[in-house]
A and B are shown apart, each in its own frame.
Chain A
Amino acid sequence: MDNSIFFPLLLVSALTTYLVRVIPFTVFRKKITNRRVSAFFYYIPYTVLSAMTFPAMLYSTDSVASAAAGAAAAIFLAYKGKNLLIVAIGTCAAAFAVSLIRMLVL
């Protein structure tokens, strides 16, 4: 990636992420008592990850078919309560298997 695009975006990304951490850690020392605000903070990680994952996950490999196989494996393994690493390996393996079949058959 061209450095003239990369470095300004890197700087903004790193600085924003740092400020989000440092300002409350240094300035605010009180607990959040507003229940609506704390509920919002509780939900946001899950809604962010959900929106980031679907449907983007389906376009993260060389074909929607292999990505869909990976997504199905991820949902199955995560539903079974497997840990992060096992789910990731299963996801990649399922996507790879379908990619391989497509390469050999098509």
Chain B
Amino acid sequence: MTFRRGVTDGFAIGIGYLSVSFSFGIMAVTSGLSWWQAVLVSLTNLTSAGQVAGVGIMSASGGLIEMAIAQFIINLRYSLMAISLSQKTDESMTVPARLFDSFFITDEIFGVAVSKKSFGFKYMTGLAVYPVLGWTLGTLLGAVLGNILPPIVTNSLSIGIYGMFVAIVLPVCRKSKIVAGVSALSVMLSVVFRYVPFLHENVSSGFAIIICAVIAAVAGVIITPDRRARTDG
């Protein structure tokens, strides 16, 4: 499990990240960020859903507490992944190595790493090379093109990241009734927060996402508490 092996294994993830972060870059500049701000968000956060919500909070000049809670809830799944990954690391994963590599825990990097019997610091660091490059470069391309292309094109491209979210959730909903149920409930609650004037005016979009997601997930736990955590990414 060498560094080189990790780099090779991460290539496909890096290519995939190019397109997602391209959409993010476009979305970020249409939300009012400059190109370098968009790139800085990607470089320091390395997460899709969290960044989309984060840019929403930034463009609404939201509060720091709101940002912290939103990122905590949206990225909470990384905690579970981190714990799973921890079971598979060898002795080369010292505390400083963990402090460094934990930055790279994403859905896809987790998915590849957790499928190994055991891995160490070199492998996980190698695995992150192309994803980080792809994520940053894609954001840069999206943000720069977002400033050059005519509005009719950038407007059409900024919806792309939501299309990707649909593509992540819907196939799982087809296989799992309970995931379909909790996702539908979350959408219904989100619709209520958007269209009931009192809620729309008083609850910011970041908080609305947190409230809807937590209520829907808790409802799922109450209905089907036996659903075991999926740890295959």
Contacts and interface: CB of A to CB of B under 8 A. Distances in A.
B75 A16 contact: yes
Interface string B155-191: 1111111111111111111100011001111110111
B226 to A, nearest CB: 6
Given A9-B64, A24-B82, A31-B83, A14 B171 contact: no
A78 B80 contact: no
A20, A29, A74, A78 — which one has the most chain B CB atoms within 10 A of its CB?
A20
Nearest to B95: A26
B167 A74 contact: yes
A27 B191 CA distance: 39
> B-side binding surface: helix, strand, loop or mixed?
helix
A86 to B, nearest CB: 8
Given A47-B220, A48-B49, A78-B167, 9 more contacts: A10-B41, A35-B226, A41-B76, A45-B49, A46-B173, A50-B213, A52-B52, A60-B158, A92-B157
29 contacts: A9-B54, A13-B67, A13-B71, A16-B75, A17-B47, A20-B72, A20-B78, A25-B83, A25-B102, A26-B99, A31-B83, A39-B226, A42-B228, A43-B220, A45-B77, A46-B186, A49-B168, A49-B169, A51-B213, A52-B190, A57-B162, A62-B152, A66-B155, A71-B166, A79-B174, A84-B164, A88-B19, A88-B161, A92-B163
